[in-house]
Amino acid sequence: MKDMAPDTGVLLSVRGLSKFYGPRIGCKDVSFDLYPGEVMGIVGESGSGKSTLLNCLAGHLPTDHGEVLFSGRDGGLRDTLQMSEPERRMLGRTDWAFVHQHARDGLRMNVSAGGNVGERQMAVGARHYGAIRDSAIDWLGRVEIAEDRIDDRPTAFSGGMQQRLQIARNLITGPRLVFMDEPTGGLDVSVQARLLDLLRGLVREMGLSAVIVTHDLAVVRLLADRLMVMKDGHVVETGLTDQVLDDPQHGYTQLLVSSVLQV
Amino acid sequence: MNSYNFAYLDEQTKRMIRRAILKGLAVPGYQVPFASREMPMPYGWGTGGVQVSAAIMTPADRFKVIDQGSDDTTNAVSIRRFFERTAGVEVTETTTEATVIQTRHRIPEMPLTSGQILVYQVPIPEPLRFLEPSEVETRKMHSLEEYGLMHVKLYEDISQHGAIATAYAYPVKVEGRYVMDPSPIPKFDNPKLESPAIQLFGAGREQRIYALPPHTRVVSLDFEDFPFEANKADAACELCAADTSYLDEVIMDDAGHRMFVCSDTDFCASRRAAGHAGIQEAAI
């Protein structure tokens, strides 16, 4: 039984994951391992299947073939695709986090910043208002949002602040694996730079593992340890980020790297 | 009155509603869908409550209707007359004598006893509705017991008002399982939800029935540092001097004079009959 495989220290192990939209390929036969503290980047052009892959990994989309083995706090690897829905949703509130490209998909826009950040804590049973508020203030500070904005709604925040708020909301329960879908998409470059700086700090400090989907090669250069290049639903190249970006082997990767505009 | 079937509804419909009620009693706090019928009254006037009352009523019952505690408002009078005509049952205004009490937004002050049935009119049965508009999603949240969102609502109350400002329709957890909307009763009435009487909740427009069997454990949601508090106006009834009953504030004239009176008219009248007199009553 694969579930009883010896613990090799892998946090997330993806085996032969495929997803079809009718006759069309969403992503096909994707396999990779992710170790604790490691950040994996997935790049590719629009429609290459990177967001489909991420949503399959996070359990937001049903998968057609393959396994997503996750090492729970009890140690053993378990296939999250075979888990019951309550278990998977519990995982989604505790060990996992999902940062959406558009902050309004990941936030409750009609609930104050403090309520947004505190929701995951309340969802796992926190029932002390003072304690919830204190850790919300702490987390707002960590993502550089002033304490006096805690009772403002996200609608009163700028795009960059909303994205930082979304990150705080996700990281407050101390997840071990974060899925990010274009976390810097739609932000202007100076805001992007601060957000990347923040993310890099949090990833290092908390020892987070992350899977980051983006089309921005500069983002993965900064954040990711390893890189996976996708095209038309297939993985065409994997390797260490610097290695892939500096010495691309596959024709498509070479095209991708050479397409980046130089300032 | 032979032109109506007993208690207006046909027997098939009553069976369907009774099945929903039994299921509701078997799973306390769970919202059972039922095929709500058109009633000769508009939605929002107690169509759910009337259907539940019709389904459980027997010729031997004594029926009482209250609307915000009062026996003599339009809603209460018309529903009471409705069953007087269509079922020919005895009616009463005395809480202790009634076997079936239909209520809108109050629980009577007199403690209910076993053998009595309290029927609530419910406008919106889903406690999570204003937080999560999708019915698919709220049903999933109930089935998976994901109630963190309910506390987000209370958190917002405290952060904005310094206290839990929800004063009515205060969410409760039933037998440690389902979060339930107790209908828009004031939170003062929440402790009375743990009762020896059977409590049935009917939402006609939303087509849901739910129930609390006798002595069901009902806990009002709160925070450890902001515990639930059943509060009322800090005054005594000016007619019967009761200082433990829920009070209505009534504006008396254009000069802004106001008085507090018991919201439960039967409770107030019986206290006055027993010789209690408030400051207003004493002045007359």
Question: Cα(A217)–Cα(B69) distance, rounded to whole angstroms?
Answer: 67
Work out whether the CA dihedral B112, B123, B171, B265 comes out positive or negative: negative
Of A174, A182, A257, the C-alpha closest to A214 is A182
Find out whether B76 and B265 touch, Cβ atoms under 8 Å: no
- Cβ-Cβ contacts under 8 Å between A and B: the total is 52
The complex scores an ipTM of 0.83
From B146, B149, B226, residue closest to A129, measured CB to CB: B226
CB B165 within 8 A of CB B173: no
Q: Residue B107 — φ and ψ, nearest 5°?
A: -115, 130
- CB count within 10 Å of CB B212 equals 27
Min Cα–Cα distance to chain A from B131, Å: 9
Q: For A92-119, how does the pLDDT look when each residue is reduced to its tens digit (9 = 90+)?
A: 888 999 999 899 899 999 899 999 999 9
Question: Which chain B residue lies closest to A86 (C-alpha atoms)?
Answer: B144
pLDDT tens for the 284 residues of chain B, in order: 567 899 999 999 999 999 999 999 999 999 999 999 999 999 989 999 999 999 999 999 999 999 999 999 999 999 999 999 999 999 999 999 999 999 999 999 999 999 999 999 999 999 999 888 899 999 999 999 989 889 999 999 999 999 999 999 999 999 999 999 999 999 999 999 999 999 999 999 999 999 999 999 999 999 999 999 998 899 999 999 999 999 999 999 999 899 999 999 999 999 999 999 888 766 65
Residue with tokens 């979304």: A166
Say whether residue A85 is in contact with chain B using an 8 A CB cutoff. yes
Q: Do A129 and B156 touch (CB under 8 A)?
A: no
A14-48 per-position pLDDT tens digit: 999 999 999 999 999 999 999 998 999 999 888 88
